[in-house]
């Protein structure tokens, strides 16, 4: 799901770069981009909430591990997949 929205975001940002800066159409495009950013943020938050609720219902104890996500994404070539998790 995130990949489709990222493609749409890429398209909207490309359209924004072609607009005359600070024109009326530029502001409209900027608003579309900010709405899409907020939608993606809410989707990620919703997914994490549903996952944590599911884990808390299924298991009696949950162990949390502190990982260096930035290091993992750079060293292991997972890229954005690691970033979507945190």
Nearest to 67, CA basis, from 53, 50, 86, 46: 86
Q: Which residue has the higher pLDDT, 39 or 70?
A: 39
The confidence band for 84, taking pLDDT boundaries of 50, 70 and 90, is low
The pTM of this model reads 0.76
Q: Which of 1-10, 30-39, 42-51 has the highest mean pLDDT?
A: 30-39
Structural domain of 14: 2-85
Q: What is the number of structural domains in the chain?
A: 1
Answer yes or no: are the C-beta atoms of 16 and 30 closer than 8 Å.
yes
Q: What is the pLDDT of residue 68?
A: 81
pLDDT at position 52 over 80: yes
SS (H, E, C) 2-60: HHHHHHHHHHHHHHHHHCCCCCHHHHHHHHHHHHHHHHHHHHHHHHHHHHHHHHHHHCC
């Amino acid at each position: 799901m995130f990949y489709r929205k990222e493609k749409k975001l890429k398209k909207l940002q490309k359209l924004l770069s072609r607009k005359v800066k600070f024109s009326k159409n530029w502001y409209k495009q900027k608003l579309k981009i900010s709405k899409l950013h907020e939608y993606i943020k809410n989707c990620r938050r919703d997914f994490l909430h549903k996952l944590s609720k599911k884990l808390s219902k299924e298991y009696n104890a949950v162990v949390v591990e502190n990982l260096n996500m930035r290091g993992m994404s750079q060293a292991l070539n997972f890229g954005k997949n690691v970033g979507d998790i945190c």
